[in-house]
Homo-oligomer: A and B are copies of this chain.
């Protein structure tokens, strides 16, 4: 589930996940550093009912998936872009983390719905860190899209199927 900011991708991803049978696990990668982010997290939480178990994991997403993605479950991971941002802040090895994520996806028996931002359609950012982030986000989206069966781009709340 790829989309721009405020494209409705989280809501659409949740609807898809809720259409799957199985115990619902929400994997939140967001960290509430400031009031703005805390508000966004709270807004998203209000959209989910008590049928969802929430796991907060900003960094070890592959480990969480490996631990909980057993059969009979559906996972909603929101979102890969914040996970990547957390990895960059932690100065983690991005290639190793991507490898581990793809490996966890391939071993998972649960249905997993990933939410990610498409961030590469603007002009080249002024600063090198933003360019590095944008490049890494593009590469990560490519790798995860290749590992998933279905990929959709959400525009104005409307899904556009690009794979599957």
Contacts and interface: CB of A to CB of B under 8 A. Distances in A.
Interface residues of A, number: 40
- Say what secondary structure dominates the interface of chain A: mixed
A145 to B, nearest CB: 4
Number of copies: 3
Contact of A162 (B6, B120, B160): B160
Interface string A126-160: 00101101111111011011100001010111101
Task: List the 10 closest A-B pairs by CB distance, nearest first.
Answer: A6-B138, A122-B122, A4-B120, A121-B121, A5-B120, A142-B157, A145-B156, A141-B156, A4-B121, A6-B135
Interface of A: 2-8, 36, 118-125, 128, 130-131, 133-139, 141-142, 144-146, 151, 153, 155-158, 160, 162-163
